[in-house]
Structure 1
Amino acid sequence: MNAPKKIAQFISTPLRDGGGVVVYFIGIGGIGMSALARYFKSKGAVVTGYDKTITLLTQQLEAEGIDVHFEEDIKMIPKDADVVIYTPAVPATHKELVYYKENNYTVVKRSDVLQWITESSYDICVGGTHGKTTVTTMIAHLLRDSGYGCNAFLGGISANYKTNFWSSDNNVDVIEADEYDRSFLKLSPNIAVITAMDADHLDIYGTLQEMEDAFIAFTKRIHKDGCLVSKYGMKRSRELRAATHYTYCYDNKEADVYADDIKVENGAYKYNVISKDWKLEDVELHMGGFHNIENSLAAIIVCRYLGIDDEKIKKALKNFKGVKRRFEYILGGPNFPLHEWKSEGLANTDKNKNEVSKGAGSEGAILIDDYGHHPAEVKAALTGVKSLFPEEKLTVIFQPHLFSRTNDFADEFAQSLDIADEVVLLPIYPAREVPVEGVTSRLILDKMKLPQKQILDKNAMLDWVKLYKPKLVIMLGAGDIDALVQPVKEILE
């Protein structure tokens, strides 16, 4: 779908007067939608939107001058909107969406707008069923901090800049390429990154093979002289094609790029990055988890491909603070000891073992917040916490996300959650879905072998935390569980 002439002119102009463009968002509080809202606002457009729930993000948008309302009400929507952007999470019966469609407005998905924005830019697109938010944010930060410059459309909030969008005079876009709804197939990367192709979104794809087919199709959209960076060892990786193709892996020397000589100094990882053709020594990363060392390899490959100076890459990576809700310490925390991690996933191993550092707050309660909502992410997070705090009882508060995902992966979720010592399951967060008969959090609970497990609603969970005051807690989920983090923090403090 081509952009309307007025919008196309707006996107192509560097001016910030907006040209009288009016943009309305249905589901403006979503992480990807809010990045687009900030983009249009930064260029001077009149931006307003709807969301069903007040969140910290919607409050931030309002503080930035974007009006947001929280009722389905056609009296509150702009009748002069040049474009209406909606999220697939909004039901087709949404009153405002129906009004705009019936009255022949330009109504498009977020992926359509990203396609319009990126048609005339140099695009770095990061896809993958997990890890893509950290890698996207890391690449965008490295380009910004090094002075190379980029426009960033992120799927998380950068801890360095407290936002999921920023602009630059350099016509380079760094974009989180979402596989949901096949959105990433509307992008045409100059550089593409694929971090993982595990089964997910089976409500859209039906089978793992169909989802893998979509990632293969994504690589076919890379410019004919473009570059692909992919995790080494993925199934069907030989079908991923590009003019230039680099693979990366934390510890497998068969990959084009891997990490070596990893150690901890002054609370940070230090390591060397080894390629068949080059070596980057004394890299420093202030993030916990070997998987983040691996994520850094993808980002470093992209930066070296762009010709960024090695010292600038190292300086920028050292300054990287991570992404909100990605293994984020809310209370306490270690001084980033080495996790016991291997390229196949987190696992117990004698390789690279280090003693756990006792960081600030480690004698009190420790609270970690994480966006993990796929069994592989849950497993990685819990195994990581266990390796960091092997002597502590681990309490998990998990909110399943989507009825379809819960139904598809109930066995895998149960196995991952069994890593913990105690689990509190919240009711399923439905997002875009309607309830499915027989699919509740109990589907996971009944498959778990762990004896200490229960299902509580939000209020009951807070009462339970008040009563038992667990010492080590990780809160996991992609729904609205993030709104409960601060209340839990206040109780544990």
Structure 2
Amino acid sequence: MTLSNYHIAYFLGIGGIGMSALARWFNAHGLRVSGYDRTASALTDALEAEGIRVHFEDHPDRIPQEVKDQKDKTLVVYTPAVPGDHLELNFLRENGYAIYKRSEVLGALTEGHPTVAVAGTHGKTTTSTMISHLLYDSGHPTAAFMGGISQNYSSNLLLSRDEELPYTIVVEADEFDRSFLTLVPNIAVITSTDADHLDIYGDHEHMKEAFLQFAGRVNSQGRILLGPGASALKGRTGWVHTETYGREDDLIRPENIRPEGRRCLFDVQVYDRQIKDLELYMPGFHNVENATAAIAVALELGVQEEAIRSAIRSFRGIKRRFEYIVNEDKVVYIDDYAHHPGEITALLRSVRALYPGKKVTAIFQPHLYSRTRDFASGFSHSLSLADEVLLMDIYPAREKPIPGVSSDMLMEGITAPEKKRVSAGDLKGALANASGVVLTIGAGDIDRLVPVIRECLTEGIDEAQ
């Protein structure tokens, strides 16, 4: 595909995190951008504020007239989450539009540019956003398509200050629907290969095989970094130089980790080079691991030690990744995107380490019927690390209900002292006298409840103050 042929970009599923970054890129480069999404969200609100038109009714009549009038100049981008019976998608197909998956367009954008691609079932959003920040903050020419909203930039897109210079592209490489197999990176980071998306892959072995295929697409002169959760791939990635990171015997590793409240001090060793006394304002040992990979990539690309030190110190994380909503003596409220048992375990262990002795209440909204079915026991086991679990209905996203699959199948295996099935309307009563640490957890629309929960938790505090 030759992207310069198009003057209009129309997105189906424009409110998705990956789709919205692409929409922002085209908008920044002068194309007329519009799109459809199923529901309004903070992301679609932000896109509209940036001049991108968005509608929420699936009907060909809602497609902008300029799209209909200029078919040959229109690029249609869709996400695989759009169902096959989608009216607008089928209208556009029947009328011969140029229609590409998001991953195909992202692959075309990266052609001819040095590319860093970060893949993995956990940690890829934080790691790719850290790399993006380290490069951009140091003045390294960068274009970054991030899988989350950076707290530093309030966006999931970063564009170099001077696009006339050759620039490095940083992308989050998504394993869903094998999307990452459109990329040809110079540097690849694979953080972990835990089982996920079994509705796509069938079983864990086929999913790991896809990660090996991704590794096989790395430029022969490039480099692959494997996190502790992906180290088993070492020796299977062909001729490309491959290194593991994060463990105490790795050549790339964190050392001397010293948690201090919401700050973490640590040293990092990258081959024979050591950087001491780095400050990361994100809690959790897993985030030090993510930072280690980001630092290794930045050094590989020529970023200087003092620029790395400054950028790590100024990194403020990603929205919905251990995001503090309330931080008071009586109650702490954290919102997190975790939607896999491994992620929930890491989240709850970090909370326990930060707030020993405090009651932990986890409000969890499962994401996808298939994921709930495939990892039911894992979800129950991870959620049992909380003192109280408030369990919501499954958020279906792209899926239709699966008979016999519901949140109820998690309840029996949860061994937390308190557990309860709740709806959104129940939360205010359930949290009326909450103290300790409250967490909202999930990748669905649970973030819409954040303002309500915040108001509920701070009501008494605000009155006292």
TM-score, normalised with respect to structure 1: 0.88
Partners in 1 of 2:386 and 2:228 — Cα distance? Answer: 29
Q: 2:83 aligns with which of 67, 79, 91?
A: 91
Counterpart residue number, 2:269: 274
The secondary structure found in structure 2 opposite 1:238 is coil
Cα deviation for residue 286 of structure 1 reads 1.4
Offset of residue 388 of structure 1 = 1.6
Q: 2:439 aligns with which of 444, 469, 474?
A: 474
Question: 1:253 maps to which residue?
Answer: 248
Instruction: Tell me the distance in 1 between the aligned counterparts of 2:259 and 2:175.
Output: 35
Instruction: Quote the residue 2:463 is aligned against.
Output: none
**Residue aligning to 1:182:** 178
Contact 2:234 2:243 in 1 (8 A): no
1:91-170 mapped onto 2 (5 Å cutoff): 91-168=83-160, 169=163, 170=166
Task: Give, as a single letter, the amino acid of the residue that structure 2 aligns with 1:139.
Answer: I
Gaps of 5+ in 1: 11-19, 333-360
Q: In structure 2, what is the equivalent of residue 295 of structure 1? A: 290
Structure 1 letter corresponding to 2:82: V
Distance 1:222 1:276 in 2: 21
Q: Where does 1:359-438 land on structure 2 (aligned, <5 Å)?
A: 361=328, 363-438=329-404
Unaligned runs of 5+ in 2: 459-465
Q: Is the 8 A contact 1:33 1:87 kept in 2?
A: yes
Bigger drift between 32-41 and 88-97 goes to 88-97
State whether structure 2 residue 203 is matched by structure 1 residue 207: yes
Letter in 1 for 2:283: G
1:489 pairs, out of 445, 451, 454, with 454
1:262 aligns with 2:257: yes
User: Equivalents in 1 of 2:105, 2:343: separation in Å?
Assistant: 29
AA of the residue aligned to 1:244 = H
For residues 247-269 of structure 1, give each alpha carbon's deviation from its aligned partner in whole angstroms, at most 9, with x where no partner exists. 211xx332111112223569632
Q: Following TM superposition, by how much is the alpha carbon of 1:470 offset from its aligned partner in structure 2, in angstroms?
A: 4.3
Equivalence for 1:225: 221
Structure 2 CA distance for partners of 1:364 and 1:468, relative to 1, 3 Å: closer
Residue 34 of structure 2 corresponds to which residue in structure 1?
48
- Give the conservation status (yes or no) of the 8 Å contact 2:255–2:266: yes
- How far, CA to CA, are the matches of 2:267 and 2:187 in structure 1? 24
Cα distance in 2 between the residues matched to 1:232 and 1:480: 31
The 1:111–1:219 alpha-carbon spacing in structure 2 relative to 1, beyond 3 Å, is: same
Q: CA deviation at 1:296?
A: 0.7
Moved beyond 6 Å, runs of 4+? none
* Matching residue of 2:461: none
Tell me the amino acid that sits aligned with residue 116 of structure 1: A
Give, in angstroms, the shift of residue 240 of structure 1: 2.8
Deviation at 1:270, TM superposition (A): 2.1
Task: State whether structure 2 residue 16 is matched by structure 1 residue 24.
Answer: no
Please tell me the residue identity of whatever aligns with 2:220: K
Structure 2: distance between partners of 1:207 and 1:98: 31
Contact map agreement 1:26 1:87 (CA 8 A) in 2: yes
Contact 1:226 1:242 in 2 (8 A): no
Contact 1:273 1:297 in 2 (8 A): yes
Which one of the candidate residues 174, 181, 193 is aligned to 1:197? 193
CA distance in 2, matches of 1:87, 1:463: 38
SS in structure 2 at match of 1:401: coil
Letter in 2 for 1:73: H
Q: Which residue is equivalent to 1:335?
A: none
- Checking the alignment, whether the CA contact within 8 Å between 2:262 and 2:283 is kept in structure 1 is no
Measure, in 2, the Cα distance between the counterparts of 1:462 and 1:91.
Answer: 34
> What is the number of equivalent residue pairs in this alignment?
447
Q: Does residue 61 of the first structure (1) align with residue 47 of the second (2)?
A: yes
- Contact 1:88–1:109 (Cα < 8 Å) also in 2: yes
Letter paired with 1:268: R
What amino acid maps onto 1:172 in structure 2?
T
Q: Residue 227 of structure 1 contacts residue 242 of structure 1 at CA under 8 Å; is this kept in 2?
A: no
| Contact preservation (8 Å) 1:427, 1:441 | yes
Provide the aligned C-alpha RMSD in A.
Answer: 1.5
| Cα gap change, 1:55 to 1:74, in 2 (>3 Å) | same
Contact 2:427/2:453 (<8 A) preserved: no
Distance in 1 between residues matched to 2:261 and 2:85, nearest whole Å: 55
